[in-house]
Amino acid sequence: MFESAEKIIAGNWKMNLLPGEGLLLVNELVNNLEVQKTKVILAPPFPYLSELSKKLKSKPGFYLAAQNCHHKSSGAFTGEVAPQMLKAMGVEYVILGHSEQRSLFGESDEWIAKKIQNALIAGLNVIYCCGETLDDRDAGKQFDRVRSQVQTAFNKFPSDRLDQVVIAYEPVWAIGTGKTASPEQANEMHAHIRDLLAAQFGKNAAQTVPILYGGSVKSGNAPDLLSCPDIDGALVGGASLVADEFIEIVRSAEKL
């Protein structure tokens, strides 16, 4: 279990909301949420990062994340964004390894590991996503799949950088499907990930890494998921686009 009592609730907007809609959503959140025990991270589309960085700068407990970045600092990579650019804009976190990047754009574990290294060098915190498909789980290979992802991502990883890492376990079969891993299934995988980190970095170091659950998290299931001993927060997709839903999820974390 993550040593800190602080929970993390991250909202991944994906490719949603027009600028005015995004600003309205953020206004609803900052005007109706006062957080004491929760870190709230918002990941809007790239075009909104600059404006929202200004908006969130003076709001305690709120942080800004990008949804992806390249593994190089600069170069002829049309359409890509370097982590150093994100850092210069006031972005503090970046989501890497999301299942949609893996499945839709063919990102490999090795490619994602390169992105992690450059993001850390740029001074960003990384939210690293891992998780199995339904086929993996049906075949009883979910632990092997996540083991492979985690070990590749953090191969030769410097332990003094662990304070820049957040892990998000997202069973692919539960993302955007309305299905959710049971609290028992989610907690079991979180404990597995913690054991993997402990084997590589030592038990004490592993305890410092927050592990979030993602996969159709809603206000209705958030309390049960967040109450699990090895679940340190949530990476929220669709529900992060609805102010009332996201506010209730954050308040569930605040009550723990």
CA–CA separation, 256 and 9 (whole Å): 13
Cα distances (angstroms) measured from residue 57 to each of 21, 37, 52, 90, 217: 19, 18, 8, 8, 26
Q: Which residue of the set 100, 107, 132, 170 is catalytic? A: 170
- Asked about 248 being catalytic, the answer comes back as no
**Upper half-sphere CA count for residue 94 (Cβ side, 13 Å):** 28
Q: Which residue of the set 70, 71, 98, 190 is catalytic? A: 98
Of 167, 147, 143, give the one whose Cα is nearest residue 155.
147
- Asked about 98 being catalytic, the answer comes back as yes
What residues pair up with 165 in beta bridges, in sequence order?
126
CA–CA separation, 177 and 165 (whole Å): 27
Torsion of CA 184, 187, 188, 193, to 10 degrees: 170
Sign of the CA dihedral running 151, 155, 158, 163: negative
Active site residues: 98, 170
